[in-house]
């Protein structure tokens, strides 16, 4: 067809007094990759949920292949050829890949009778688009990257001709992200049209034909990627120039955390294998690695949720391995968990409740078992102001915040009192450029104030820019440490792949 395959015409969506989208119009051509760029909370996901029928617009229309979609009907969007892959996967972990793909496409009563035909169709779709999946694999046993492929295959199985990807690389390591975009490029050659929501400027420049920038729920710019730059997009996205802070040298202090021969076993599998490290006061210690190499176990160990099978772990001489999460909070350990939705906040609680959750029983926020709500709300209001938590008031339900603003809330809660130790586990995953710079500034300020910081990240650039010392985690083992001055991208990449010097293998 010569016209656009998709048109959003003057879309407006309000949630109470909050206007999430205001008079938004955009179009998508056949075989085009369009990036929807904006800060956390700019209205990107809301707009795509309107397109897919999860939300109903207050004003405006959605047209697919020239036909207006009935509002608020995902089934109508699917039947029109629209597929959506959400940032947080919607797969059933206890079912196989084939069962996940069939559910929603086939009647539950016909799953068994249609299984053979569905398996063949699934394999045909996977082969056509270069998305290798095992129909018999249980989804719970798959890596994050493999689950992403299953989500995309599920959409294509339903004959999607327009694919919406919401933050498709938020949980992927760089090699997985690069493979994903190579696959998407080959898919557009066959006529598929793609919109992907992102805040990562490098991948927008590499993958998109055109970029639409949202700010405050409005379209503020539209650019061809061939006619723009990373710097211009960053400024358009946040409305001002953004510069990430630079780590300055400082002499580290005494050892705060020491691990000696730590082994963690979970479900019969060794997650960490004879790990040694130490972290000093006034130092950022970077742990880099591809997802699934023991990061979750290390985060669980340092947050008090897991116990070592062997070895010792001390916090300024105290036995840290025996401390509960509550003990660690009382001891001055600030925690930024990997999964902000599952471990960081309770979405149904208000901002003030989440802000004080870890210290609600202390004298600051309670008296004889009665919560001091005024003090708690005042504390939350201070965090909202200091950490620029947008769209929030103390009584706002936390689940209404964007992912980036949830992360700022968790960061503020962790840094409200000067901590001895900070566990920063994927602290900027899913954040926009402005929010990343803000998080980095706060971590460097905590370092300057003497906190010991463990930074667990899959973002090579983040580790190189923040960490004083770096170790790579591969199959549960740690490389020897190297200083920031020794490190470069090539060396760290080799370390992440387990290519260590022979003397480090012993």
Mean pLDDT per segment of 10 residues, for the chain of length 506 residues?
85 90 95 89 88 93 94 91 80 89 68 78 82 86 77 85 83 70 81 86 88 93 94 86 83 95 91 94 92 87 92 94 90 87 86 89 83 92 88 89 84 87 88 82 93 91 91 90 84 79 41
276 and 219 in a single domain? The answer is no
pLDDT on residue 107:
59
Structure tokens at 228: 């723009």
The candidate with the shortest Cα–Cα distance to 356, out of 384, 328, 386, 377, is: 377
Same domain, 291 and 429: yes
Which are the contacts of 211, defined by CB distance < 8 A and separation ≥ 6? Answer: 34, 35, 36, 37, 204, 221, 222, 223, 224, 225, 228, 233
Contact between 347 and 354 (Cβ < 8 Å): no
Residue 75 lies in a domain: yes
114 contact partners, CB below 8 Å, separation of at least 6: 102, 106
* pTM beyond cutoff 0.75: no
Q: Do 202 and 158 share a structural domain?
A: yes
Residue 506: the pLDDT is 33
Residue 390: count other Cβ atoms within 10 Å of its Cβ: 17
Residue 504: per-residue pLDDT: 41
- Give residue 5's pLDDT: 95
CATH of the domain at 332: 3.40.50.300
* Residue 290 falls inside a structural domain: yes
Separation between Cα atoms, residue 8 and residue 27, nearest integer Å = 6
Residue after which a domain boundary falls, among 238, 272, 301: 238
pLDDT value of position 126: 82
Domain count, the chain: 2
List, in order, residues 6 or more apart from 257 with CB less than 8 Å away. 277, 278, 279, 302, 313, 314, 315, 320, 421, 452, 454
Tell me how far apart the alpha carbons of residues 313 and 124 are, in angstroms, rounded to a whole number.
51
d(CA 216, CA 222): 15
Helix (H) or strand (E) holding 220: strand 218-224
Final residue before a domain boundary, out of 206, 238, 270: 238
Q: Do 456 and 314 share a structural domain?
A: yes
Rounded CA-CA distance 376/165 in Å is: 38
Q: Beta-carbon neighbour count of residue 250 at 10 Å? A: 13
Q: Which two tokens stand for residue 101?
A: 């793909």
Residues 487 and 387 reside in one and the same domain = yes
* 234, 260: one domain: no
d(CA 181, CA 456): 25
By the 8 A CB rule, do 492 and 499 touch?
no
Give the C-alpha separation, 102 to 118, whole Å: 7
Maximum alpha-carbon separation in the chain: 71
Element (H, E) at 44: helix 44-52
Question: In sequence order, what are the beta bridge partners of 83?
Answer: 163
Chain length of the chain: 506
1 domain-assigned: no
Quote the CA–CA distance of 54 and 72 in Å, as a whole number.
Answer: 6
Q: What's the CA gap between 94 and 111, in Å, rounded? A: 16
Please check whether residues 320 and 461 belong to one and the same domain: yes
Q: Are residues 233 and 259 in the same domain?
A: no
Is residue 31 included in any domain, yes or no? Answer: yes
Do 444 and 407 belong to one domain? yes
Q: Say how far apart CA 482 and CA 464 lie, in whole Å.
A: 11
State the Cα angle at 281 between 278 and 285, rounded to 5°: 50
H helices of 111-264, in order, are: 111-129, 144-157, 174-188, 201-207, 230-238
* Three-class SS state of 73: coil
Q: Do residues 277 and 233 both lie within one domain? A: no
In a domain, 345, yes or no: yes
Please tell me whether residues 422 and 482 are part of one structural domain: yes
In a domain? residue 65: yes
**What pLDDT score does 356 carry?**
92
Residue 415 lies in a domain: yes
Nearest to 137 by CA among 167, 166, 100: 100
CB 272 within 8 A of CB 297: yes
- Phi, psi (5° rounding) for residue 314? -125, 150
Expressed as residue numbers, the domain containing 215 is 6-238
The residue out of 209, 238, 267 marking a domain boundary is 238
Please indicate, yes or no, whether residues 159 and 280 belong to a single structural domain of this protein.
no
* Domain presence at residue 245: no
Q: By the 8 A CB rule, do 472 and 442 touch?
A: no
């Amino acid at each position: 067809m010569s016209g656009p395959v998709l048109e959003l015409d003057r879309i407006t969506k309000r949630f109470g007094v909050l206007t999430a989208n205001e008079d938004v119009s955009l179009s998508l051509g056949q075989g085009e990759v369009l990036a929807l760029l904006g800060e956390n909370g700019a209205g990107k996901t809301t707009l795509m949920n309107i397109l897919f029928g999860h939300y109903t617009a207050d004003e405006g229309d959605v047209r697919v292949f020239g036909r207006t979609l009935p509002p608020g009907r995902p089934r109508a969007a699917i039947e029109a050829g629209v597929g959506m892959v959400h940032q947080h996967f919607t797969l059933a972990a206890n079912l196989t890949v084939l069962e996940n793909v069939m559910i929603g496409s086939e009647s539950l009563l016909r799953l068994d009778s249609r299984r053979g035909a569905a398996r063949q169709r699934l394999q045909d779709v996977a082969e056509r688009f270069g998305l290798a999946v095992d129909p018999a694999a249980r989804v719970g046993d798959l890596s994050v990257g493999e689950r992403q492929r299953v989500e995309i295959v599920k959409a294509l199985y339903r004959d999607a001709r327009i694919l919406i990807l919401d933050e498709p690389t938020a949980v992927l390591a760089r090699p997985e992200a690069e493979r994903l975009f190579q696959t998407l490029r080959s898919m557009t050659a066959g006529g598929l049209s793609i919109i992907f929501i992102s805040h990562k400027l490098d991948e927008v420049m590499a993958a998109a034909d055109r970029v639409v920038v949202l700010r405050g729920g409005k379209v503020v710019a539209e650019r061809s990627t061939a006619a723009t730059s990373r710097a211009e997009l960053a400024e358009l996205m946040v409305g001002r120039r953004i510069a990430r802070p630079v780590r300055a040298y400082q002499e580290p202090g005494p050892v705060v955390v020491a691990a000696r021969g730590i082994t963690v076993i979970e479900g019969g599998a060794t997650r960490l294998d004879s790990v040694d490290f130490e972290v000093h006061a006034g130092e950022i210690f970077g742990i880099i690695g591809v997802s699934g190499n023991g990061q979750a176990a290390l985060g669980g160990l340092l947050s008090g949720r897991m116990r070592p099978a062997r070895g010792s772990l001390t916090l300024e001489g105290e036995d840290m391995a025996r401390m509960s999460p509550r003990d660690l909070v009382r001891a001055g350990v600030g925690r930024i968990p990997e999964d902000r939705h599952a471990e960081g906040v309770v979405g149904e609680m208000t901002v003030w409740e989440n802000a004080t959750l870890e210290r609600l029983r202390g004298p600051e926020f309670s008296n004889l078992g009665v919560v001091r709500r005024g003090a708690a709300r005042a504390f939350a209001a201070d965090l909202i102001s200091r950490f620029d938590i947008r769209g929030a008031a103390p009584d706002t339900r936390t689940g209404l915040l964007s992912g980036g603003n949830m992360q700022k809330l968790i960061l503020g809660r962790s840094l409200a009192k000067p901590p001895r130790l900070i566990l920063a586990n994927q602290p900027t995953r899913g954040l926009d450029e402005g929010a990343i710079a803000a998080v980095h500034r706060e971590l460097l300020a905590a370092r300057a104030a003497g906190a010991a910081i463990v930074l667990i990240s899959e973002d090579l650039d983040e580790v190189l820019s923040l960490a004083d010392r770096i170790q790579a985690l591969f199959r549960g083992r740690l490389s020897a440490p190297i200083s920031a001055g020794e490190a470069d991208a090539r060396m760290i990449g080799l370390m992440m792949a387990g290519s260590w010097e022979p003397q480090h293998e012993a």
